[in-house]
Amino acid sequence: MRVTMILPALTEATSPLFRPIKYSLFPPLGLATLAGYLDPDDEVRILDEHVERIGGQVADDRPDLVVIQVYITSARRSYELADRYRERGVFVALGGLHVTSLPDEAAAHADAIFLGPGEDTWPRFLADFRRGEPAKRYVSTERTLQGLPPVRRDLIRRERYLVPNSIVVSRGCPHHCDFCYKDAFFAGGKSFYTQLVDDALAEIDRLPGRHLYFLDDHLLGNRRFAEALFEGMRGMNRVWQAAGTVDAILAPGLLEKAAAAGLRSMFVGFETINAGNLAEQRKRQNVGRSYEAVARRLHDAGVMVNASFVFGMDGDGPDVFDRTVAWGVDVGLETATFHIMTPYPGTALFRRMEAAGRIVHRDWDRYDTRHVVYRPRGLNPSQLEAGYWRAYRDFYRWRSIWRGAAGKPRDYRMRHLAYAGGWKKFEPVWDALIRSRQVLRALPLLETTLNGMRR
């Protein structure tokens, strides 16, 4: 059987002039995971439109099966590709977050759609497909990561990615924030579950080099699992990055175990500095927690902070941008990611705003957290978009980067300057590396920055 798997580019990653480094960070791990279920004699390839032009490769492609992973801002492109393949008589399967959120929309462009994670539905579909009896819709209900086949990393072109060693050892998140896209994806079954620790360690052991990036939504979400994982990783000489929540970082002992196992950078969803917004969005794991204590604990453990903030919640006014940036610089955040609140279909936020008549349109290309697609309350749309861009500009000014680094010990100060400056101030260099397919050459520099300046 011949299979083509495609990750279409997000709309914001398709500029012919400039491509930010974040779109060449991680390979399409989800598709490589599904490929692991195929038979050894199946012919399969993975095409990632973020790092290569695929027009010539799909123009006359006639495999037995095409699998396309759909995100909201790649929906238009995904449907376009799906329609072209179906016109040639190729069987098209669509899955992913957007398909699960809007299954009827996706079904118009597919022969089969997949709702939710695929560990239980994908093997069932393959058996049906080989018998010539595929269903039109597969809905995940059984949630387990036991017995997963090895990820087909041989299909990943490592030289195209800065972080080829991405890994996922759990699925979902134990929390249920109103604006989170993942809640709809895991409806109908467990919303958070992990691999067996030994299986996770075996997958880590298969990865070359030192650097890892855990793409789990919340690596610290199951303390027993996380502690056993970190204990098993001690002595592996790895340096790695991951995501965790405010409450887990403040939990005694867990962060220290992670740092001893090689954690050097943590993505943290602070989301808002306005406490009233947290309850409204059901961000309960942040309510009553000291953000300053979170930043201090991470820095004391030698871990850099990549903070996430969302602008445009109902409690935000015109001052929210400057106050957020000032706070982040004052506590020494190394990097920050800003977003305009976006009511994704399938979320509680979308349902609430749709019921109130606040959704402006359904042009999914613009649901990219950079455009205002709803009617905000404390700001007008132009204020919100302008403030979003200003926050990025002000946080990553050289004087802000220096101020954030200035209060740290010398070795950590240099790491802060190198990491924050390298991430945002040299994007034209990253773009050149991406286009020349040399981005992997920067991995040793990333490893040195993460780990080489520790006390």
Q: What is the CATH number of the domain that holds 16?
A: 3.40.50.280
Domain boundary, last residue among 101, 124, 139 = 139
Tokens of 248: 């887990």
Same-domain status, 373 and 313: yes
| Beta strand extents in 245-340 (DSSP E only) | 263-271, 304-311, 335-340
* pLDDT tens digit sequence for 75-113: 999 999 999 999 999 999 999 999 999 999 999 999 999
What distance in Å separates the CA atoms of residue 295 and residue 6, rounded to the nearest whole number? 39
The percentage of the chain sitting over the pLDDT mark of 70, rounded to a whole number, equals 94
Same-domain status, 119 and 200: no
Domain containing 185: what range? 162-451
* pLDDT tens digit sequence for 341-360: 999 999 989 999 999 999 99
What distance in Å separates the CA atoms of residue 265 and residue 391, rounded to the nearest whole number? 22
Q: Is the pLDDT of residue 440 over 90?
A: no
Torsional sign, CA 430, 434, 440, 441:
negative
- How many other CB atoms sit within 10 Å of the CB of residue 147? 9
* pLDDT tens digit sequence for 200-211: 999 999 999 899
Same-domain status, 234 and 285: yes
What distance in Å separates the CA atoms of residue 392 and residue 424, rounded to the nearest whole number? 9
Which of 389, 416, 388, 423 lies closest to 402 in space, CA to CA? Answer: 416
The helix (run of H) or strand (run of E) holding residue 419 is helix 410-424
Helix ranges restricted to H, 285-340: 291-300, 320-330
Q: Is the pLDDT of residue 291 over 90?
A: no
Give domain status of residue 283, yes or no: yes
Residue-level pLDDT at 288: 47
Same-domain status, 244 and 375: yes
* pLDDT tens digit sequence for 179-221: 777 777 887 788 899 999 999 999 999 999 899 999 999 999 9
Give domain status of residue 148, yes or no: no
Tokens of 350: 């979308």
Give domain status of residue 151, yes or no: no
Give domain status of residue 144, yes or no: no
Domain count along the chain: 2
Residue-level pLDDT at 452: 56
| Beta strand extents in 356-442 (DSSP E only) | none
Confirm if 170 and 196 have CB atoms less than 8 A apart: no
Give domain status of residue 310, yes or no: yes
Residue-level pLDDT at 19: 61
Task: Give the amino acid at 72.
Answer: I
Sheet holding 263-271, edge to edge: 166-167, 211-214, 239-244, 263-271, 304-311, 335-340
Confirm if 241 and 138 have CB atoms less than 8 A apart: no
Same-domain status, 16 and 130: yes
What distance in Å separates the CA atoms of residue 28 and residue 138, rounded to the nearest whole number? 21
pLDDT (average), residues 229-257? 94
Same-domain status, 255 and 390: yes
Same-domain status, 103 and 180: no
Same-domain status, 267 and 350: yes
Distances 174 to 223, 289, 291 between C-alpha atoms, Å: 12, 18, 20
What distance in Å separates the CA atoms of residue 246 and residue 228, rounded to the nearest whole number? 21
Q: Is the pLDDT of residue 328 over 70?
A: yes
* pLDDT tens digit sequence for 366-387: 999 999 999 999 999 999 999 9
Same-domain status, 201 and 128: no
State the CATH number of the domain containing residue 366: 3.80.30.20
